[in-house]
Amino acid sequence: MAAGPAPPPGRPRAHMPHLTKMERVVVSMQDPDQGVKMRSQRLLVTVIPHAVTGSDVVQWLTQKFCISEEARRSPSHPSPEALHLGAVLVQHGYIYPLRDPRSLVLRPDETPYRFQTPYFWTSTLWPAAELDYAIYLAKKNIRKQGTLADYEKECYDRLHTKISHAWDLVLMQAREQLRAAKQRRKGDRLVIACQEQTYWLVNRPPPGAPSVLEQGPGRGFCAASRVHMTKSADFYKQEIEYCRRALGRTRVKSSVCLEAYLSFCGQRGPHDPLVSGCLPSNPWISDNDAYWVMNAPTVAAPTKLRVERWAFSFRELLEDPVGRAHFMDFLGKEFSGENLSFWEACEELRYGAQAQVPTLVDAVYQQFLAPGAARWVNIDSRTMERTLEGLRQPHRYVLDDAQLHIYMLMKKDSYPRFLKSDMYKGLLAEAGIPLETKKRVFPFSWRPRHSSPSPALLPTAVEPTAAGGPGGGDGVA
Amino acid sequence: MCDQTFLVNVFGSCDKCFKQRALRPVFKKSQQLSYCSTCAEIMATEALHENETLASLKSEAESLKGKLEEERAKLHDVELHQVAERVEALGQFVMKTRRTLKGHGNKVLCMDWCKDKRRIVSSSQDGKVIVWDSFTTNKEHAVTMPCTWVMACAYAPSGCAIACGGLDNKCSVYPLTFDKNENMAAKKKSVAMHTNYLSACSFTNSDMQILTASGDGTCALWDVESGQLLQSFHGHGADVLCLDLAPSETGNTFVSGGCDKKAMVWDMRSGQCVQAFETHESDINSVRYYPSGDAFASGSDDATCRLYDLRADREVAIYSKESIIFGASSVDFSLSGRLLFAGYNDYTINVWDVLKGSRVSILFGHENRVSTLRVSPDGTAFCSGSWDHTLRVRSSRPAWAIW
């Protein structure tokens, strides 16, 4: 909002680190030796000292931050990042244009700019008071009738109604300030007017321009947390307990961890569409959703990349519905399919509704754990004992131990055998690599983008469950 | 004439020893009591003792923390960029905006992808939550929340519901319906209740559980159907701003970041903090797990993004540049974890090479700060939402590829 109430109280200056950093940049820009080249600028008849041109600012920023290779190659062409950084400094009012102070834009040419005085820095005065704004607008109005922009006229009228009781004070102050200003040199007067105008452009932006001061809903400041921290012995006891636990934990050497990233990224690189592209084409680029159709969750013929992924880790295999189905087939051949079913039932329990917990636990027990159960799973006796103990007070994590045991069994035993099996090798051989769709450059034709049915319309996703069949429901509007 | 002050002696039974003595007013935890002089002196010495214990606890905590840092440093034998020297540098990318979603009337605060890789839900400052098919840019559903600043929204794994919340301190779940006669707001379910704003929410592996983070400094796990609190997570010293669930095999942990500059990893089952990292210099706005689940990245107001390894238990990389002054509001990894996309408050998006630590490219286009950024579930594109009322879906391809 341009006029009206001041922006909602944001965070104090300490919590706006970007302002402090901008100030540091601006200060180093004004360094007499290392800073931007300053010159005197002639504006009509007055000479303003310590002005800089937009292009000098951009060039200095490019050099100082070694921003991009492109800039080094062609110094005349401003690097977009340096331009952006300069624009941001101007937008926040740290640098202001001398000729057209109505818009805070950085032009990378001979346009003259000056550095804002610290008095008006965005972080120093906070928040800008309505009375001050009224005085400023009144001054502008008195000095030259009709120089107020439309939005400023609106604000002026609004403030007039709002603080009509103090309006005499406002006008008096305005006249006094104008009188004092007349006693200054023309150059100084111009500069001060520009500075003030910039300040108000930042604090009361015109409608449509983004307010750089807007922060979002207030957050709990660290100051508040500091008070919380010095409160009690309990806090320190918690810290001590945490540190003791942490000290007891085993850590892995950095070199091992970092190598793991390299191998992970290397392995997955060809599967990452943003890094390696995708076949037949990236739907977002070609407007063709063939890629999604080919890689739908349940598809008869998975692509080669997809089948390869099943060998990366057991989790990848289980997360892919097609992979999981094939694995289930494989286990069936080895007469250990109940392991996977048990694991799936446990997942359903863990992530299911709270109200379902007792029934699900019971169902799992009856089907998998009870002596003589139809699909009895082979768990070691200790885990079985613990689980049966826990079943007296069923909660959603009661089967965690058993689930982990079965998971590890499948991971260490069945999974490697699956990867070596003829079944998997056959799938890999069958799987195809989609052909790259030729990019149609000419003739240009606008390809209609196919819509797809919303998942909210389809029958509830079929997750193979042990207890009960797949969820039904037609859900068609 | 001078004023004379008279000391008034009150006689009565002491609140502590109950003997009849001259009493003095004494304040204990802002409660006024009357103690006899002996008891008052005893209390004074006790307070001294308590202070001593507090000081000794503090020094013990400090020394343990120091020891922890030492232990962590012992195993730090190499830096990431050193190890990554032998990795091939990434080539040039052509990254362009492929879709612009216009329809929000105010700042876009949060977005999430659906598992079908094309639909997204987004929420904004004016309370509007919109579900789009971003491939066709059609709007499919729209709900107006009764509050402003809807800072969190999430898509359910089944694609049949969305969750959102903000300044109303609640997280509500709306089932998505195509029935024209039904008002979506009618079926709304209020799930989470916090004592301050909701900053982030996420479904776990199913539609029936939601994890939330709030400005009241806590995270919580809720059962959607009954609204029951299943577990709460206390430990942050200030507002919690973000959270992310771990993509691990045993699926039991999540990480949260807050205004206390800490990123904490929690065990969902016990509610305990398993690991904590405090190296940022300002609020942590966003956390996201590395695809393998062994590490996570965080973006903060101190203009840096950092990578923390969970097995090495330390920060292993910082992604920052002197020319980047504004805070990072949201981060996400590409599918292979090689690229880190980070949206900043200076309206730009920087793309980092995770292994080498260098910036791959800077993307312009938004006209106000980037508030949210997510990579699509199959990694073909990423979407950024901004305070300029729009969402942009961008995709890249290596310069040598056609698509």
User: With bands split at pLDDT 50, 70 and 90, how would you rate the model's confidence at A103?
Assistant: confident
Residue B291 covered by a domain: yes
Do B192 and B286 have their domain in common? Answer: yes
Of A17-31, A220-234, A317-331, B259-273, where does mean pLDDT reach its minimum? Answer: A220-234
Could you tell me if A293 lies within 8 Å of chain B, comparing CB atoms? no
Measure CB to CB from residue B355 to each of A67, A261, A354 and give the nearest one: A261
Mean pLDDT of chain A: 82
B58: nearest CA in chain A? A236
d(CA B184, CA B187) in angstroms, rounded, equals 6
For residues B55 and A229, the model is more confident at: B55
For residues A469 and A433, the model is more confident at: A433
How far apart are the CA of B6 and the nearest CA of chain A, in angstroms? 38
CB < 8 Å to B116, chain A: 452, 454-455
Do B23 and B100 have their domain in common? Answer: no
Do B20 and B147 have their domain in common? Answer: no
User: With bands split at pLDDT 50, 70 and 90, how would you rate the model's confidence at A7?
Assistant: very low
Residue B28 covered by a domain: yes
AA letter at B374? R
Of A59-73, A145-159, A301-315, B268-282, where does mean pLDDT reach its minimum? Answer: A59-73
Share of chain A above pLDDT 70, in %: 84
Based on its alpha-carbon atoms, the radius of gyration of chain B, rounded to whole angstroms, reads 27
Query: H-helix or E-strand containing B229?
Result: strand B229-234
pLDDT at site B8: 60
Measure CB to CB from residue B57 to each of A240, A264, A404 and give the nearest one: A240
Do B22 and B166 have their domain in common? Answer: no
Tell me the residue length of chain B. 403
How big is the CA angle at B164 (ends B159 and B170), to the nearest 5 degrees? 140
Residue A121 · residue A107 · CB < 8 Å = no
Could you tell me if B356 lies within 8 Å of chain A, comparing CB atoms? no
Do B148 and B232 have their domain in common? Answer: yes
Asked, as a colleague might, if the bond just before A127 is cis with ω within 30 of 0, I would say yes
Could you tell me if A143 lies within 8 Å of chain B, comparing CB atoms? no
- A 10 A CB-CB count for A40 gives 11
Do B195 and B255 have their domain in common? Answer: yes
Residue B293 covered by a domain: yes
pLDDT at site A224: 43
d(CA A193, CA B125) in angstroms, rounded, equals 36
Residue A12 has pLDDT above 60, yes or no: no
Do B226 and B303 have their domain in common? Answer: yes
Q: What is the dihedral of CA B312, B334, A425, A408, to 10 degrees?
A: 40
Residue B127 covered by a domain: yes
CB < 8 Å to A347, chain B: 205
B273: nearest CA in chain A? A242
Measure CB to CB from residue A228 to each of B224, B237, B322 and give the nearest one: B237
Do B166 and B297 have their domain in common? Answer: yes
Do B236 and B124 have their domain in common? Answer: yes
Could you tell me if B98 lies within 8 Å of chain A, comparing CB atoms? yes
Instruction: Count the alpha carbons within 13 Å of B350 in the hemisphere toward its beta carbon.
Output: 24
Residue B80 covered by a domain: no
d(CA B118, CA A451) in angstroms, rounded, equals 10
How far apart are the CA of B2 and the nearest CA of chain A, in angstroms? 44
Do B153 and B282 have their domain in common? Answer: yes
- The Cα diameter of chain B in Å comes to 102
Query: H-helix or E-strand containing A322?
Result: helix A321-333
d(CA A376, CA A365) in angstroms, rounded, equals 9
Measure CB to CB from residue B338 to each of A22, A259, A265 and give the nearest one: A265
Please tell me what DSSP assigns to residue B326: S
Do B28 and B177 have their domain in common? Answer: no
* Share in percent of chain A as helix, strand, coil (round to 5): 55, 5, 40
B312: nearest CA in chain A? A252
Measure CB to CB from residue B68 to each of A246, A272, A450 and give the nearest one: A246
A237 three-state secondary structure: helix
Q: What is each CA distance from A220 to B18, B217, B240, B284, in whole angstroms?
A: 45, 9, 9, 13
Could you tell me if A296 lies within 8 Å of chain B, comparing CB atoms? no
Instruction: Count the alpha carbons within 13 Å of A367 in the hemisphere toward its beta carbon.
Output: 18
pLDDT at site A266: 93
Which tens digits make up the pLDDT trace of B66-92?
A: 998 888 888 888 889 899 999 988 888
Is residue A33 classed exposed, middle or buried when 0-12, 13-18 and 19+ CB atoms within 10 A define those classes? exposed
Q: What are B200's strand-pairing partners?
A: B213
pLDDT at site B221: 96
Size of interface A-B (CB pairs under 8 A): 333
User: With bands split at pLDDT 50, 70 and 90, how would you rate the model's confidence at A226?
Assistant: very low
What would the DSSP string read from start to end of A102-126?
Answer: TS----SSS-EEEEPPGGG-TTTS-
Residues of chain B with pLDDT under 70: 1-9, 28-30, 47-52, 402-403
Task: Select from A45, A48, A43, A82 the least CA-distant residue to A66.
Answer: A82
Residue B403 covered by a domain: no
CB < 8 Å to B362, chain A: 80-81
CATH number for the domain spanning B152: value is 2.130.10.10
- A 10 A CB-CB count for A308 gives 16
AA letter at B41? E
B160: nearest CA in chain A? A456
**Mean pLDDT across A22-27:** 91
Of A378-382, A401-405, A455-459, B68-72, where does mean pLDDT reach its minimum? Answer: A455-459
Q: What is each CA distance from A130 to A195, A201, A205, A215, in whole angstroms?
A: 18, 14, 14, 19
Provide the edge-to-edge strand list for the sheet that holds B370-375: B93-102, B390-398, B382-386, B370-375
Which tens digits make up the pLDDT trace of B232-284?
A: 999 998 999 999 999 977 778 999 999 999 999 999 999 999 999 999 999 99
Query: H-helix or E-strand containing A466?
Result: none
B179: domain range? 95-396
Q: Number of structural domains, chain B? A: 2
pLDDT at site A203: 87
A400: nearest CA in chain B? B250
Is B388 close to A265, i.e. CB distance below 8 A? no
**Mean pLDDT across A349-375:** 91
Query: What tokens were used for A273?
Result: 């569409």
Which tens digits make up the pLDDT trace of A196-222?
A: 888 888 888 888 788 887 888 877 654
Residue B39 covered by a domain: yes
User: With bands split at pLDDT 50, 70 and 90, how would you rate the model's confidence at A467?
Assistant: very low
- Give the B window 296-355 contacts with A, CB below 8 Å: 301-303, 309, 311-314, 316, 321-323, 325-327, 334-339, 345-348, 354-355
Could you tell me if B147 lies within 8 Å of chain A, comparing CB atoms? no
CB < 8 Å to A67, chain B: 323
**Mean pLDDT across A453-466:** 59
Is A88 close to B346, i.e. CB distance below 8 A? yes
Measure CB to CB from residue A272 to each of B228, B326, B336 and give the nearest one: B336
Residue A93 has pLDDT above 80, yes or no: yes
pLDDT at site B281: 94
Measure CB to CB from residue A355 to each of B76, B80, B225 and give the nearest one: B225
Task: Select from B251, B150, B238 the least CA-distant residue to B201.
Answer: B150
Residue B362 covered by a domain: yes
AA letter at B40? A
Mean pLDDT of chain B: 90
Please tell me what DSSP assigns to residue A437: P
Which tens digits make up the pLDDT trace of A397-443?
A: 999 999 999 999 999 999 999 999 999 999 999 998 888 877 666 55
Do B27 and B155 have their domain in common? Answer: no
Residue A287 has pLDDT above 80, yes or no: yes
CB < 8 Å to A224, chain B: 238
Could you tell me if B128 lies within 8 Å of chain A, comparing CB atoms? no
Interface test with B, best of A236, A254, A452 (most B CBs within 10 A): A254
CB < 8 Å to A26, chain B: none
